[in-house]
Every structure is written in structure tokens, then in C-alpha cells.
Structure 1
């Protein structure tokens, strides 16, 4: 079973600054994942030509089942509000997706609260910090009927705020108690490997630096497991012609 997680930067390329849905489709197809978690996914956004990027990815990989879950409704960096899951069809939104070639038994959405304060950030173009409103985060989980029987996969994109992302990860793992195991939790966790293992209590099975894409120095993207699953070989951080992250891919077998 081939698992991949990829923060797609809404499909934008660092080389030309454009979103090209055909380029996104080709990149997803090249990963050849059976189960794929995507982060920073647009739907009906002008900057990505109003495309449903989840649908583009699902068709490219041959996923019979997929679920997009909005974290925010509106435009990132512009006017937005926390998504509730009750947004009107056709409204611009931004979030995460989980895609699977295996049948889905059930879906679950977990909403994770943002830090209720403005966060100081430093811009590369300025020596002075600016205050940013932390965005709400979300996770989507599915019970899949896979080659080793039923198991649970969860995809998320946690905040970049230190310590708060650890709290979000602990909350998420607690919310998944009682779901069928093995459990796979993947995504852009915005923390390094040791912190991901410590806060989740799960085992990291994919070790490779993923960020920044041109010359990665850190692993922000992870695949964590609990139960009888193991990596069947070394993970690969795949450079693709879009995004500021590399895709993280690992072959998984029953332990």
C-alpha cells in the first residue's frame, strides 16, 4: 500500500507563480498513491481558476473516494471566516483533502481551534514583525477497507504556532480513540519528527526532509502510525513542479 502526503500550496509553482491544474494532475498521478492526503487545497478560488483541486487530484490518481473539508470560507490572506461545513455550493473555500483508491466505510471531520490571539511573524522583506490572525484548522479521517482489512487514515494541516500545534495534535489523536486500527495519521504538522512523535504518541514511519522544496532542511510533513503497520522501505521526499513542500511517500505493509 502506497501512502503519500503533499502540501500543494493551492497548486502554485514557485518557478512561475501560476496555478496550472494540468500540472497538478500530472504531479499527483506521478505519486501513484493508493491513499493521498493533500493540504492547502482550493475550491472555487479565483487564484486557481475556480477549480475543484480535490476533483482534479482524484481523477488523476484514480481515487474512487475523496473528501474535501474546508478550514476557512473565503479567501486566504483576504476576507475569510471559519468554515462550518454548511457553506453554500460554489462559495470559495480552502482546506484539506483525503483521497483513496480503497472503499471508504465511514468519514469523520475534526475541527481544531486556532490560537485566539494575533501571532507575530517576520517577513523576509522586513526586519520588523507583523501580526497575523491564526487560521482555524481541520482534520478529515476515513475508515478504509484496504488490503489488510479495515483501518483508519487521518489527514490534517496543523498551525505553524509552536506549542499550539502540539496541543492540536494531542486533541486530534484523542478524538480518534475507538476508531478501527491500524491508524495512520499524516499531513503537514508544522513540527519536526521528534515533536510529532512526542505529542501524538504514534510511531513515525517516514523520515525525509520536505521543506523548503528546493533545498529542504526540515521535515514538517509526516506519516505516523499506531497498530500493525510498518514501512516496507525508506520514505521518499519527492520534488514536484509545484508547491514549497516536497511530497512525502512511503510504502506500507502489515507488521
Structure 2
């Protein structure tokens, strides 16, 4: 099984600032993920050419099921609104997370997390990158009960706050919500914290330890694949790990292959 998480930066290249459908599709296809969790995903946004990035990724993966869960309606960093309980922002520009699966989904589950009430300094990547004070945004956890080849399991994806301590509280809330769903459980996401902190706070086991940020010279791991096996059937506790460079985003995707033996070489940025 190949599990992957990827903060896609709405598909934007830091080299040319563009979002290109074919470039995005090709990169996702090369990840060859059975289950892919994506963060910073646009739907219907002018800045990404009104592309439905979730649908493009699902087609590229050969998925049988996919879903987008908006964290907010509008454009992050500009004008947006939070979602009401029964509001999914259909037909409006939105921003959130996605799950894509090659296996059928038994049920979908969404948990909403409140953003921090304070601003925090964040590095803006790309040419002329700099630190800016940003307001935090609402977050969302998208979970699915998957009909896997060895039985059902729960997988979820999220993108937690960049505000220290606040993201720790969000992770605890996410774990609490996921424990209501069938084990084993996997969390894929940009948690905005290092692996040791993510493991200690969640109580879950990291399946990968490798730097993923920034993409051009990774120094820290912000993206994680965490496993909770409690109460579940036998589940691989390790696998081959990849963090390939792709031609967009400021993060590298993180892929864990739990099948036996090392995975074949996957093309890197120079192969595009």
C-alpha cells in the first residue's frame, strides 16, 4: 500500500508562479498513491484557473473515490468566510483539503477546527520571500472509512494551524474525533510541527521521518503519516519512505510504501 500526503500550495510553482493542470496531474500520477491526502487545495479559485484540483488528482491517481472538504469559502489571505454547519460552499471559490482513494469508501466524516485568535509571523516562499504577520484561518479534518484490500480502515487528512500550541490542541481534537471511527487509523497531513511533537501529542506512531520543507532544501518535517493501531488488525508499522521534488509547491510530498521490498525509483523534478 502506498500512502501519500502533500501540501500542494494550490498547485502553484515557485519558479513561474503559475498553476498548470497538466503539470499538476503529472506530478500526482508519479506519486502512484493508493490513498492520497492533499492540503492547501483550491476549488473554483481564479488564482488557480478555476481548476478543481481534487478532481484532477483523482483522475491522475486512477481513484474510485474522492472528496474535497473546504476549510473556508473565499480566498485565504484575502476575503473569506467560515462555513456554517450545513454549508459546503458549493458553487463558490473555496480552499481546504482532499482525500483520494483507489479503494471504495464506506463513509465520509468532517470535523471543523477553529483557527487561532492571534496573528503569527510566517515565511512567504518564492522570489523575494519574506516573513509576514498572518491571521490564522479555520481548519478542517476530512476522514474516510476505506474498504481496503485487507479490510476496512480509517484514513484522514488535515492541515493544522501554524500557531504553536494552538496546533497541538487541534491535533488532540482531531485524534479524539478519529478514535470514534474503525481502527486501524492513519492521519495524513501538514501538521505544522516536527515528527517527535506530532507523535507525543497524538500518541500515534510516525511511519516516516524525513524532512519535507522547504521543497528546494528540506530542513524540517512538517508533513506526516501517523498510525494508530490500537484495537485494529495487523497493520504494517513501517515502509519505504520517499519525499520527491516536484515542480510546484513549497513542500515535498511524503510517500510511505508499506509493501515488501524497496519501491522502484520514481522520476524527480529533472524528469518532467
Query: TM-score scaled to structure 2, two decimals?
Result: 0.88
Runs of 4+ aligned residues of structure 1 deviating over 4 Å after TM superposition are 120-127
State the superposition RMSD in angstroms: 1.9
Aligned counterpart, 2:203 = 201
Equivalent residues, number:
253
C-alpha distance 210-89 of structure 1, shift in aligned 2 (>3 A): same
Check 1:203–1:87 CA distance in 2 against 1; reply closer, same or farther (3 A cut): closer
Q: CA deviation at 1:83?
A: 2.6
Summarize the Cα distance change of 1:190–1:122 in structure 2 as closer, same or farther, 3 Å threshold: closer
The aligned residue for residue 182 of structure 1 is: 184
What CA distance in whole angstroms lies between the structure 2 residues aligned with 1:206 and 1:248? Answer: 8
- Please state how far the C-alpha of 1:233 moved relative to its aligned partner: 2.9
- The alpha carbon displacement at 1:197 in A equals 0.2
Distance in 2 of aligned mates of 1:121 and 1:7: 16
Matched with 1:116 is 117
Aligned residue in 2 for 1:143:
145
Deviation at 1:52, TM superposition (A): 0.6
The answer for unaligned runs of 5 or more in structure 2 is 261-272
Provide structure 1 residue ranges, at least 5 long, that are not aligned to the other structure.
none
Report the CA distance shift for 1:9/1:88 in structure 2 as closer, same or farther (over 3 A).
Answer: closer
Question: Is contact 2:69-2:88 (8 Å) kept?
Answer: no
Three-state SS of the structure 1 residue aligned to 2:236 is: strand
Q: Which residue is 1:191 aligned to?
A: 193
Aligned counterpart, 2:268: none
Distance 2:226 2:138 in 1: 22
> 8 Å contact 2:43–2:53 — kept in the other structure?
yes
Cα distance, 1:122–1:100 mapped onto 2, change above 3 Å: closer
TM-score (norm 1): 0.94
Q: What secondary structure sits across from 1:47 in the alignment?
A: helix
Q: Is 1:238–1:247's contact at 8 Å kept on the other side of the alignment?
A: yes
Matches within 5 A, 1:212-223: 212-223=214-225
Give yes or no for contact 1:170–1:200 (8 Å, CA) kept in 2: yes
Q: Deviations over 1:5-57 (max 9, x none)?
A: 00000000111110001100000000000000000000000011111110010
CA displacement 1:99-136 (0-9 Å, x = unmatched): 10001000000101111233345779799x75422100
Answer yes or no: is the 8 Å Cα contact 2:73–2:89 preserved in 1.
Answer: no
